Amino acid sequence: MEDIAEKGLQVVVGLAVFAAIIGLIMLVVDRAPKTGREKVQIAGFLAPALVLLAVGLVFPALQTSYLSLTDRNGDFVGLDNFVWMFTQPEALVTLRNTVIWVVLVPLLASSIGLAYAVFIDRARGEKALKALVFMPMAISFVGAGVIWRFVYAYKGPEQDQIGLLNQILVWFGQEPKQFLLDAPENTLFLIAVMIWIQTGFAMVVLSAAIKGIPTEIVEAARLDGAGAWQQFTNVTIPTIRGSLIVVVTTITIGTLKVFDIVRTMTAGQYETSVVANEMYTQAFRAGEPGRGAALALILFLMVLPVVVYNARLLRKQKEIR
Amino acid sequence: MSTVPLDKEPLLPGVDGAPQGRPTMQKRVRQRLTSRTATAAAVIIAVIWTIPTFGLLVSSFRPEDNIKGNGWWNVLTDRQFTLENYADVLSPGGSQSPNLLSYFVNSLAIVIPGTIFTLVLGSMAAYMFAWGRFRGKDGLFIFVFALQIVPLQMALIPLLQLFTQVLKFGDFQLLPSGTYAQLWVAHTIFGLPLAIFLLHNFIAEIPGEVIEAARVDGAGHSTIFWRIIVPLATPALASFGIFQFLWLWNDLLVALVFSGGGADVAPITQRLAEIQGSRGGEWQRLTAGAFVSIIVPLAVFFGLQRYFVRGLLAGGLKG
């Protein structure tokens, strides 16, 4: 109990300090002299976030970028780390896996989420059905790792299976299988976990977007005799396009950054590693910060096209407004 | 779309009997069919999505020997249940025990302030990006948006050095190790780009006249922000807050780097990963432990669901 009280006190102090800082900013912003008040106000609102981002993200990222050009002793080695990445077989497997992840997870999670959102829209028990698919989103990656390791659990053919998937194989007269050990399909079984988690996110956001479609448009389409599929392709998709892009982008970025699933389920062994995991392994386990940093930079480059696309879209929306 | 209930049609009198022709029998049948297929597909998805968790939940109540001996679906014939697994993982019984209660409290203590800090700072910045007038706004906003893709791993080591070496003045450490402070700040930093982006999208949709009117009345930015923006953006704040809460609760990597790993600070996910790594075959502990770790997020989700859905309906998280 003492322990809990002490932890509670820490939280209260933390919140109080934060509130004091925000209060101070508001006070300064309001009392600023008339000339230049606008500037002070803008700075007051933006500065806390921007300073944190600069110190905690931009500067460290630059530092890491420099690291990618150095070896384990910190000596400058030019592009050696990148050469390593694109020539060594184990590094190439990592790159290949990452591409598979980034293609499959956003695509499948968004499609299943969208299909599900459409299917259950205004259906009976919609709330409960939504909650079931959203639930995995509430589960930590570590928890999901436990859940799916249990689904994939393997026992020898002569024993009773405790993993559901192997039991299903046995029921169909097949040999039980080491789902997480046999490359290359084991990557797909890890990807399934991520899809299982992300579909709920896609579904919740897209369902909300679908509900935001004005009823008049839907009614008009129906009066014109549009079938369910036509309504879907001609009304639903174009109207929720913005949300769809947000969903796909968010999941893509999440997929690139995810390492918990690979880390806890296989630790990147058996040819399942992805760039985010390999970066951790190289930088924090293998004592190769240069290689880790180089892998981080590659991640950055892989996602750049997505961001550029998104940024252009944003600008276009602004122009329309 | 296809599940728009047929019984809704009478609400629109005259539609069915409109002169351009009643829906033919064929069309009706087809509509009902797609509706049925859709429902069936939805049910199948729901079942696939639920079974893994359900299996683990059932297992967590089974005696150790049963969990390790046969599949959880055998409970249909072999109804033996126990709470022992939960008692075992929660009790603070020596260093061998999972001692999850302590880590559970840590998770709450990390996640609640972490979420609040991100929401406040994120919405303040989002407001300026949406309604402030200054040069280079769009470029800066896109830059912040782009920061989302900076992988966490890139920032971890420099940030840890910053906390432990740079922000240290003699014996005084601004963000002391062995407390939650480093985790709060780290989580806030990593959450800000997405927070700013999503909240901006919502706040920018607030009708300009409302803000203009307040401005004409002489209201400054702080008044507008707290009196108009925050109340109007509550749905979006709630929605993002819930997601941020879940993300922080999910986190393992940031905890690994900044918590030090002890029962003083480390969150429950870190402990669970430890148990999984060192005792991967102890399913009685893993199953119960996994459920202890997901109770809070589930409670948050179900407790706030109505509010959450209402927020989304109002256009929260809208692209």
A237-277 pLDDT, tens digit per residue, is: 888 888 888 788 878 878 887 788 888 888 777 888 888 88
Same domain, A29 and A156: no
Q: Residues 91 to 150 of A: which have CB under 8 A from any B CB? A: 112, 115-116, 118-123, 127, 129, 131-143, 145-150
**Pair B137, B129: CB distance under 8 Å:** yes
Residues A276 and A254 in one domain: yes
- Residue B8: pLDDT over 70: no
Is residue A320 pLDDT above 70, yes or no? no
- Would you state the pLDDT for residue A89? 84
Model confidence at B5, in pLDDT bands (50, 70, 90)?
very low
Q: Which B-chain residues 116-175 have CB contacts (< 8 A) with chain A?
A: 116-117, 120-122, 124-125, 127-129, 132-134, 138, 141-142, 144-159, 162
Task: Name the nearest CA neighbour of B117 among A4, A52, A58, A26.
Answer: A52
Q: What are phi and psi for residue B251, nearest 5 degrees?
A: -60, 140
Per-residue model confidence (pLDDT) at position B315: 39
Residues A1 and A105 reside in one and the same domain: no
Q: Which helix (H) or strand (E) holds B194?
A: helix B181-203
Q: Check CB contact under 8 Å for B154 and A256.
A: no
Q: Could you say which of A4, A142, A207 has the minimum Cβ distance to residue B252?
A: A142
Q: Does residue A127 share a domain with residue A62?
A: no
Residues A104 and A5 in one domain: no
With 0-12 CB in 10 A as exposed, 13-18 as middle and 19+ as buried, what is A26? buried
Q: Which run of H or E residues covers position B172?
A: strand B172-173
CB spacing of A303 vs B132 below 8 angstroms: no
- A150 and A291, same domain (yes or no): yes
Alpha-carbon distances, residue B20 vs B10, B14, B30 (angstroms): 17, 11, 19
Give A-chain residues touching B153 at CB under 8 angstroms.
Answer: 259, 276, 279-280, 283, 292, 296
CATH number of domain containing A95: 1.10.3720.10
- Please indicate, yes or no, whether residues B128 and B271 belong to a single structural domain of this protein: yes
Q: Which of A20-29, A163-172, A306-315, B120-129 has the lowest mean pLDDT?
A: A306-315
Residue A25 belongs to what domain range? 1-67
Is B272 in contact with A143 (Cβ distance < 8 A)?
A: yes
Q: Which two tokens stand for residue A76?
A: 């400058």
- Within a domain: B265: yes
- B60, B80, B107: which is the final residue of a domain? B60
What whole-number distance in Å separates Cα of residue A267 and Cα of residue B273? 11
Residue B7 has pLDDT above 60, yes or no: no
Inside any domain, residue B81: no
Q: What gap in Å lies between CA B201 and CA B319, rounded to an integer?
A: 6
* Distance between CA atoms of residues B239 and B123, nearest Å: 13
Contacts of B129 in chain A (CB under 8 A): 46
| Min Cα separation B228/chain A (Å) | 15
Distances (CA, A) of B234 to A205, B203, B225, B310: 16, 10, 12, 11
* A72 occurs within a structural domain: no
- Position A317 scores a pLDDT of 66
Same domain, B46 and B166: no
Calpha distance B241→B223 (Å, rounded): 22
B87 contacts: CB under 8 Å, gap ≥ 6: none
Task: Flag whether residue B225 sits within 8 Å of chain A, measured between CB atoms.
Answer: yes
Q: Does residue B86 sit within a domain?
A: no
Dihedral sign for Cα atoms in the order A300, A304, A305, A306: positive
Judgement on whether residues B31 and B139 belong to the same structural domain of the protein: no
Domain containing residue B139: CATH number: 1.10.3720.10
Q: How far is CA B93 from the centre of its chain?
A: 32
**Token pair for residue A178?**
């080491």
**Do B196 and B126 form a contact (C-beta atoms < 8 A)?**
yes
Contacts of A280 in chain B (CB under 8 A): 153, 253
Residue B41 has pLDDT above 90, yes or no: no
Identify the DSSP state of A173.
T
| Eight-state DSSP code of residue B70 | S
Spatial separation of the C-alpha atoms in residues A40 and A54, rounded to whole Å: 19
Contact B83, B298 (CB under 8 A): no
Q: pLDDT per residue over B64-109, tens digit each?
A: 878 877 778 877 777 788 888 888 788 776 556 778 888 889 999 9
Asked if residue A77 lies in contact with residue A290, where contact means CB atoms within 8 angstroms, the answer is: yes
Q: What is the pLDDT of residue B162?
A: 85
Do residues B244 and B119 lie in contact, with contact meaning Cβ atoms separated by under 8 Å? yes
3 state DSSP class of B219? coil
Q: Which of A13, A146, A171 should be substituted to probe chain B, the one whose Cβ sees the most B Cβ atoms within 10 Å?
A: A146
Mean pLDDT for the stretch of residues A154-176: 83
| Total domains in the fold of chain A | 2
B125 plus B54 within the same structural domain:
no
Q: Do B109 and B208 belong to one domain?
A: yes
Query: Are A22 and A129 in a shared domain?
Result: no
The answer to whether B238 and B304 have CB atoms below 8 angstroms apart is yes
> Cα A310 to chain center, whole Å?
16
Measured in degrees and rounded to the nearest 5, phi and psi for residue B93 equal: -100, 80
Paired residues of B172 in beta bridges: B169
- Helix, strand, coil % (nearest 5) of chain A? 75, 0, 20
Last residue of a domain, one of A67, A87, A113: A67
Do residue B132 and residue B41 come from a single domain?
no
Q: With pLDDT > 90 as the criterion, what percentage of chain B qualifies?
A: 14
Contact call for A30 and B222, based on CB within 8 A: yes
Could you tell me if A45 and A88 lie in one domain?
no
The answer, for A155 touching chain B at a CB cutoff of 8 Å, is: no
Q: Which residues contact A185 (CB under 8 A, 6 or more apart)?
A: none
Strands (E), chain A: none
Residues B179 and B260 in one domain: yes
**For residue B118, which amino acid is it?**
T
Q: What is the pLDDT of residue B185?
A: 93
CB A133 within 8 A of CB B49: yes
Of A28, A43, A67, which residue constitutes the final position of a domain? A67
Q: Is residue B150 part of a domain?
A: yes
**Do residues A21 and A155 share a domain?**
no
In chain A, residues with a C-beta closer than 8 Å to the C-beta of B298 are: 135, 138
Q: What is the pLDDT of residue B11?
A: 34
Q: ipTM surpassing 0.85, yes or no?
A: no
Write the burial class of residue A128 (CB in 10 Å: 0-12 exposed, 13-18 middle, 19+ buried).
exposed
Asked if residue B45 lies in contact with residue B28, where contact means CB atoms within 8 angstroms, the answer is no
B133 and B223 housed in the same domain: yes
B201 vs chain A: nearest CA distance in angstroms? 10
Do B191 and B251 touch, CB atoms closer than 8 A? no
Give the integer Cα–Cα distance in Å for A262 and A141.
Answer: 10
Question: Do A54 and A200 have their domain in common?
Answer: no
Is there a domain that residue A73 lies in?
no
What is the Cα–Cα distance from B122 to A74, expressed in whole angstroms? 36
Predicted confidence band of residue A201 (pLDDT cuts 50, 70, 90)? confident
Where residue B89 falls (left for φ over 0; alpha for ψ -120 to 50; beta otherwise) is alpha
Q: How far is CA A193 from CA A187, A189, B68, B255, in A?
A: 10, 7, 23, 22
Rounded Cα–Cα distance for residues B121 and A225 (Å): 49
The verdict on residue B97 lying in a domain is yes
Listed in sequence order, the residues at least 6 apart from B37 whose beta carbon sits closer than 8 Å to its beta carbon are none
Domain range spanning residue B146? 91-313
Tell me, yes or no, whether B146 lies in a domain: yes
Mean pLDDT score of chain A: 84
Q: Specify the number of domains making up chain B.
A: 2
Q: Please report which confidence band the pLDDT of residue B318 belongs to, taking 50, 70 and 90 as the band edges.
A: very low
Q: Do both A92 and A61 map to the same domain?
A: no
- Are residues B153 and B49 located together in one domain of the fold? no
Radius of gyration of chain A, Cα coordinates, nearest whole angstrom: 25
In the prediction, which pLDDT does B15 show? Answer: 36
Q: Looking up tokens 């296809």, which residue turns up?
A: B2
Query: Are A50 and A147 contained in the same domain?
Result: no
Can you give the pLDDT at residue B6?
Answer: 34
Using CB atoms, pick whichever of A48, A53, A122 lies closest to residue B5.
A122
Could you tell me how many CB contacts below 8 A there are between chain A and chain B? 356
Residues B193, B271: one domain?
Answer: yes
Domain assignment of residue B67, yes or no: no
- Domain stop point among B10, B45, B60: B60
Nearest CB neighbour to B294, from listed A4, A140, A236: A140
Tokens, residue B64: 């150790």
Q: Residue A16, class by beta-carbon neighbours within 10 Å (0-12 exposed, 13-18 middle, 19+ buried)?
A: exposed
Question: pLDDT grade, residue B310 (50/70/90)?
Answer: low
Shared-domain flag, residues B34 and B112: no
B71 → closest Cβ in A121, A131, A167: A167
- Six-digit token string for B199: 């909240």
Contact A10 B162 (CB under 8 A): no
